[in-house]
């Protein structure tokens, strides 16, 4: 018991930040989920819906490297507060447009892009703030707690978002989002002192400061290759996310509640994985854990969603696909924090964001395009007596199911390819 009180005492500021940001992220995710439902019901297009996420992630590709250099120079707390405020203003604009009946898809694309830009600047500052608030001996537990918050978010956001959206409408989902923002903002402003940490030289130009993050990755090829591995996984994962509404909302056993339930099961599974990540001791090989958990994810859910024709099977697939992800994230986070010097973490994390996340908008575009323009027309053209119909059924959604099978093979091949990368395994030998 004394160790628990000691843990809480040493991490008081982090725990306040973690809990309030958990609530704020939950509100934002509920809004995002409700907007997916609204846009798919309005247009019935996987590509149109996927463009919402493309606009959110595009800033990571375009400006993330520069954002990290600025983050290392700027006050971390002020950066987080300003970025959160701007994002809340964008959300408030969506609320006003929806309440007046003037909300259109182009509004959401523009506002998602602006919110994504703020998140691009905020994330490196938040990552460094966590390092500054956390003693090194607690890195894995803190990583587990961050995975726990991600899991709770994935578990609760679809269920709560669907319930509020169905019962009260989009406006009430957004109001909940803004209320959680206000709580997180006031907590950070009043109760969480964030040390500044070491600063780069004032005379260093922005370009030279940006190059420092890129140079570190080029000189540490094991970390760079691991980031590229995750980028390849993100390509498949974002295609998955783009195609999932088109599959779950159109199958005979599907619908809004089914989509929410499958994603909630993913969250419950991640919750279990997060608890395990928080309690397990450090493994002998973090790289092995990362590779094995990703292989488990890629070799289960895609295949089960493609071939399963029962909601219970889909839930089993969701559980298997996500249970290992928090354990992977905790070990990846601990590996990065222990290897990358804190004085350049913001720049390195920003460079990592550009490399690791550039495949996400590509995957969303590709997934939406393949569903609408390739796999659904192909399924319709083959007819009810074809092998395709025997495997995936008929009607709308059969094409999306075929895409899920292809994504399963792509994900497994990616894991097996990068497991052979000796530079990634060499990270185990570094201090």
Report helix, strand or coil for 316.
Answer: helix
Task: Tell me the per-residue pLDDT of 252-301, one tens digit each, with 9 for 90 and over.
Answer: 777 778 888 888 888 788 888 878 877 777 788 888 999 999 999 999 99
Tell me what pLDDT residue 410 has: 95
Q: Please list the ranges in the chain whose pLDDT falls under 70.
A: 1-10, 65, 67-72, 136-138, 140, 144, 196-207, 209-210, 346, 429-431
What pLDDT is stored for residue 92 in this prediction? 92
Break the chain down into helix, strand, coil percent, rounded to 5: 85, 0, 15
pTM of the model: 0.73
- Nearest of 243, 255, 225 to residue 305 by alpha carbon: 243
User: pLDDT tens-digit profile of 332-373?
Assistant: 888 887 787 777 776 787 778 778 888 888 898 899 889 989
């Amino acid at each position: 018991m004394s160790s628990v009180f000691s843990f809480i005492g040493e991490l008081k500021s982090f725990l306040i930040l973690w809990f309030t940001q958990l609530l704020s992220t939950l509100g934002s995710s509920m809004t995002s989920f409700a907007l997916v439902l609204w846009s798919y019901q309005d247009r019935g297009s996987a590509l149109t819906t996927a463009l919402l996420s493309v606009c959110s992630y595009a800033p990571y590709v375009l400006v993330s490297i520069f954002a990290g250099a600025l983050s290392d120079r700027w006050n971390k707390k002020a950066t987080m507060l300003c970025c959160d405020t701007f994002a809340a203003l964008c959300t408030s604009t969506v609320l006003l447009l929806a309440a007046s009946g003037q909300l259109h898809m182009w509004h959401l694309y523009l506002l998602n892009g602006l919110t994504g830009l703020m998140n691009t600047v905020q994330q490196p500052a938040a990552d460094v703030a966590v390092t500054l608030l956390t003693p090194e001996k607690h890195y894995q537990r803190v990583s587990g707690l961050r995975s726990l918050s991600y899991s709770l978010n994935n578990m609760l956001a679809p269920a709560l978002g669907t319930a509020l959206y169905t019962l009260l409408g989009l406006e009430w989902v957004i109001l909940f989002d803004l209320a959680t923002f206000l709580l997180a903002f006031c907590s950070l402003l009043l109760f969480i002192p964030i040390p500044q940490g070491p600063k780069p030289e004032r005379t260093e130009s922005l370009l030279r400061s940006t190059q420092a993050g890129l140079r570190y990755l080029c000189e540490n090829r094991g970390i760079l290759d691991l980031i590229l591995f995750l980028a390849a996984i993100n390509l498949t994962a974002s295609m998955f996310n783009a195609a999932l509404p088109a599959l779950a909302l159109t199958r005979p056993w599907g619908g809004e509640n089914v989509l929410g339930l499958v994603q909630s099961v993913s969250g419950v599974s991640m919750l279990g994985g997060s608890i395990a990540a928080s309690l397990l001791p450090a493994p002998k090989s973090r790289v092995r854990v990362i590779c094995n958990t990703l292989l488990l994810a890629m070799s289960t859910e895609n295949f089960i969603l493609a071939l399963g024709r029962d909601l219970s099977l889909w839930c089993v697939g969701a559980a298997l696909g996500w249970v290992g992800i928090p354990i992977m994230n905790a070990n990846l986070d601990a590996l990065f924090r222990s290897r990358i010097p804190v004085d350049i973490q913001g720049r390195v994390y920003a460079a990592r964001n550009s490399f690791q996340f550039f495949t996400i908008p590509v995957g969303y575009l590709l997934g939406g395009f393949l569903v609408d323009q390739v796999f659904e027309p192909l399924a319709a053209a083959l007819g009810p007596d074809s092998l395709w119909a025997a495997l995936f059924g008929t009607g709308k959604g059969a094409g999306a199911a075929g895409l899920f099978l292809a994504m399963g093979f792509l994900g497994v091949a990616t894991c097996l390819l990068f497991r052979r990368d000796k530079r990634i395994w060499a990270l185990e030998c570094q201090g």
